[in-house]
Amino acid sequence: MVAKKSQQRLGFKTGEYVVYPAHGVGVIVSIEEQEVAGLTLELFVISFEQDKLTLRVPVAKIKSVGMRKLAEEDMVAQALTTVTGRARVKRTMWSRRAQEYEAKINSGDLIAISEVVRDLYRSDDQPEQSYSERQLFEQAMDRMSREIGVVNKLTLTEAVQLIEKNLAKSPKRSKADAADTDEEAAA
C-alpha cells in the first residue's frame, strides 16, 4: 500500500468528515493505492471512531455507495424542525415498518433519519417501546446526533440534548391521538 501524495479526490480530502450511509459519520484519514488481483485501486480510508472501524472505499464506488459530505447548516435546521412535527406511524405490520425505518437510517439522508427519530420517539408519559423499536430509535438518534454534532461543533451529548429539546416541542400524543394519526396515514 502506498499513501498518495495528492490528498484530494472527487472533492473529498483527507481530514474531512463524511457520511457513509451504512455507518454514519467518519473521517477520511488517507487516500491510498492498493493492488487487488493485479489492478491498482485508489481507496479512501475512512475511520469511524465510535465503532472502532476503518473502511477502505474505492474512489470509483463513492457515488454508488452514497458517500456524501456533511449536511449544510440549513439541512441540520430542517432536520431539527422535522423532529418537532407530529409522528406519522403507518398501520402496517411492525416488521414492514421496521424494514422501512432501517432503510431510512441506512440511506444516509439526514431528513429521513430525523423522520425515524420523530416517529419512534416516546416521551416519559407514553407507553414503553418494544426492544426492536428502541434499537431502531437509538440507531437513528446516534446517526442524527453524530452528524449534527460535527456540523454544529457540539459534543455528542450536546447534540443529543439539542435533538431532545426539539423532540419535546412536538405535539404530545395520547393513545387516542395515535389511532387518529394511524387512520389519517392509512387514508
Q: Are residues 7 and 77 in the same domain?
A: no
Q: Are residues 166 and 109 in the same domain?
A: yes
Residues 139, 182 within the same domain:
yes
Interval 75-81 mean pLDDT: 93
Reference 167, options 103, 115, 132; nearest CA is 115
> Same domain, yes or no, for 154 and 171?
yes
pTM here is: 0.81
Residues 93, 123, 79, 178: is their CA dihedral positive or negative? Answer: positive
Which pairs with CB-CB distance under 8 Å and at least 24 residues apart come from 156-162?
162/80
Residue spans of alpha helices (H) in the chain: 62-65, 73-82, 94-105, 110-120, 131-151, 156-168, 175-186
> Can you tell me the distance from the alpha carbon of 145 to that of 138, in angstroms, rounded to the nearest whole number?
10
Cα 29 to its chain centre, rounded Å, is: 20
Numbers of helices and strands, H then E, in the chain:
7, 8
Contact in structure between 150 and 70 (CB atoms under 8 Å):
yes
pLDDT of 5 over the 50 cut: no
63 band by pLDDT with thresholds 50, 70 and 90 = confident
Q: Using the 3D structure, point to which of 40, 69, 98 is the last residue of a domain.
A: 69
* Claim to verify: residue 132 and residue 176 sit in the same structural domain: yes
Range of the domain at 11: 2-69
Q: Same domain for 169 and 82? A: yes
Q: CATH number of the domain that 39 lies in?
A: 2.40.10.170
- At 179, the pLDDT band (50, 70, 90 cuts) reads very low
Answer yes or no: do 109 and 88 share one domain.
yes
pLDDT in tens, 122-137: 877 777 888 999 999 9
What average pLDDT does the chain have? 84
Tell me which residue of 64, 85, 19, 70 sits closest to 46, measured CA to CA. 19
* Number of structural domains in the chain: 2
Phi-psi label, residue 108: left if phi above 0, alpha if psi -120 to 50, beta otherwise:
left
Residue 162 pLDDT more than 90?
A: yes
Q: Are residues 16 and 91 in the same domain?
A: no
Task: Give the residue from 16, 50, 69 where a domain finishes.
Answer: 69
Same domain as 32, residue 86: no
